[in-house]
Amino acid sequence: MSTRYRLIELLADGQFRSGEWLGRQLGISRAAVWKHMRVFSDFGLDIHAVPGQGYRLFTPFQPLSADLIRSPLSASVSSRLDSLEVLREIDSTSEYLKRTRSQHKASGFRACVAERQSSGRGRRGRRWVSPYGTNLYLSLAMQLSKASLRSGGLSLAAAVAVLRALQDCEIADLGVKWPNDIFYQERKIAGILLDLSGESSGPFFVVLGIGINLKMPESAAREIDQPWADLSQCGVKVDRNHLAGTILEALVQAIDTFGEKGLEAFIDEWNEFDLLSGRAVELHYDKQPMITGIARGIDANGAILIEKNGVTSRFNAGEVSVRVA
């Protein structure tokens, strides 16, 4: 681990540490400690420096640990997770798994988590704000047959799985927004990005990227251009490693169920938590006129149904984004 990341983890508990003490732990000078502190704002970290007391992180965090993440996993899921990598910093956890696809086995799963993403992505090319240490950035890669994907709607099934994992952590007031976002009290708290590649005949290499806000620093929050929430606002203390393991467990189980039964196995739960159904919405195409109508749930393939002037039409996730009117 580099000196910079060791320094961050020495401050992870949020307690004041003097520059002299930090320098001794790292074998560097106080001046070198100060130089590192100057660049931490680029990581989305809020550092407080107080004369006579030293430095502290305004938002403490629990460093990610592969052993702690694996702890909640059942024996069956753990045995199928071929690798779980903890990265300090990466452009994108999903891009990393795609670049290292050659390491993937025909069966099983690969996962990675990161403390920070420098180029985290959301749907339709939007940036996912990914400051160091305070949120969860997780991607899961697998190989799926064409038959297992035939029904469509895998990203919606993944959203239901993430919702289940958050509910297992006693978080309430959650909902899903088509196609795969998780909301807390009408504000976005988690998002899912599905990457699929392969020949038309299959099999397909699938990467699910999950981003969940746990404790968004104020400096990073200024970069978010939509209503958002984080788990610290839910009144429940969440262990980041335990949450990562709980999500992996839920995702693997959901993917197995999806392969056997398709989206049908998840539609009832989706409908129960659907935030758009029955509401006036706007659909936006790239460089196309906006469409307005009433959301009428989803079809068997995960397309959203929109009613306008008594006519109901279906729209696929890759084509549009949808907002409450």
Catalytic sites, residue numbers: 123, 188, 323
- C-beta of residue 308 within 8 angstroms of C-beta of residue 292: yes
Q: In sequence order, what are the residues at sequence separation of 6 or more whose Cβ sits closer than 8 angstroms to the Cβ of residue 13?
A: 60
How far from 232 is each of 45, 217, 245, 305, CA to CA, in Å? 17, 11, 19, 34
Type of residue numbered 265: A
Helix (H) / strand (E) element for 313: namely strand 311-315
> Residue 62 corresponds to which tokens in the numbers above?
């629990």
- C-beta of residue 57 within 8 angstroms of C-beta of residue 12: yes
DSSP class of residue 121 equals B
> Residue 50 corresponds to which tokens in the numbers above?
């107080």
> Residue 57 corresponds to which tokens in the numbers above?
């992180």
> Residue 280 corresponds to which tokens in the numbers above?
């006036």
130-141 as b/e, with b when 16 or more CB fall inside 10 Å? bbbbbbbbbbbb
